[in-house]
Amino acid sequence: MAIRKVLLPLTGTAAGEAAMTTALMVARRWNAHVTALHVRVDSRDVAPLAGEGLSGAMIEEMMSATEKESSQRAHAVRAMFERFVGEHGVTVAEARGGIDHPTASFAAVTGREEDIVAQQARLADLTIVPHPESGEDVSSSDALHAVLFDSGRPVLIAPHRATASIGSRVCVAWNGTAESASSVLAALPWMQRAEGVCILSAEGYQRRGPGAPDLAAYLSLHGVHAEIVMFRSANGSVGAGLLAAAQEFGCDLLSMGAYSHSRLRQLILGGVTRHVLENANLPVMMNR
């Protein structure tokens, strides 16, 4: 299946521009439409604070300040979008079929970001999430996890700095789980167009299920020749070993399943998903 619609949630962070660059690269590769979505904070969400001992006047003042800040942020995000598409010569138009070049549009709505992003992502072929700012915990990103757990669609975490290319050398992290199987399906169109494809597997990463040779045989039925690389943990970390193997292959798109263990377990103890989220410097497409 081709990539035709890309959803790009924007919050006004500096990483948003790198994500826009990544989204444009995807759109150019697939002649896709990018919907840049900004979710404004609803000032009414402050109202529950009335039960915290705050007076009506105090709450009204907080709601007014929230609305003002939300409006300013929305204008700043829209200005960033318009400047970006202008500098890169992107056609601004509504999404429609039969277009032989990338297009983009901007939408601003009010509500809870994680709910709206997950809902909109259900009718997008790919959602690209900006990498959190330095010092923030990427594994706690509400928008990222809303797409992963509530959309049924793949999410691509853009790196802090956009790479020179995307999808020319694709790696699939394989451990035999249902999550990794979903990642293979999402990456299949990319693999069919790629110059090189690599299956990354490791004894400490493999779970109950088909092995890497089985995946290679399956991909061959779809016209994809994939080499198998058995990587090792680096400094005791499977995630670090995975990223090192991807880098050695020259990977510019890593596809993998997310949270084979529970999210809570990984938040507390760490895990492959968390390590990759926090340390990858290349585009990573994840699936549940």
Domain boundary among 124, 157, 190: 157
Cα 219 to the chain's mean position, in Å? 24
* Per-residue pLDDT reduced to its tens digit, 159-186: 988 899 999 999 999 999 999 999 999 9
- Examine residue 164 and state whether it is found in any structural domain, yes or no: no
194 and 134 share one domain: no
Residue 182 sits in the same domain as residue 278:
yes
173 with 274, same domain: the answer is yes
Strands of 65-146 (E only): list them: 91-92, 103-110, 126-129
Is 163 within a domain? no
Q: Are residue 173 and residue 153 in the same domain, yes or no? A: no
d(CA 23, CA 14): 15
117 in the same domain as 230: no
pLDDT bucket at 59, cuts 50 / 70 / 90? low
* Domain extent at residue 228: 169-287
204 and 148 part of one domain? no
pTM exceeds cut of 0.85: yes
Q: 144 and 22, same structural domain?
A: yes
286, containing H or E segment: strand 284-287
Q: End of a domain among 133, 157, 181?
A: 157
Whether residue 139 has pLDDT greater than 90: no
What is the domain count for the chain? 2
Confidence of residue 96 (pLDDT cuts 50, 70, 90): confident
- Which element (helix H / strand E) includes 172? strand 169-173
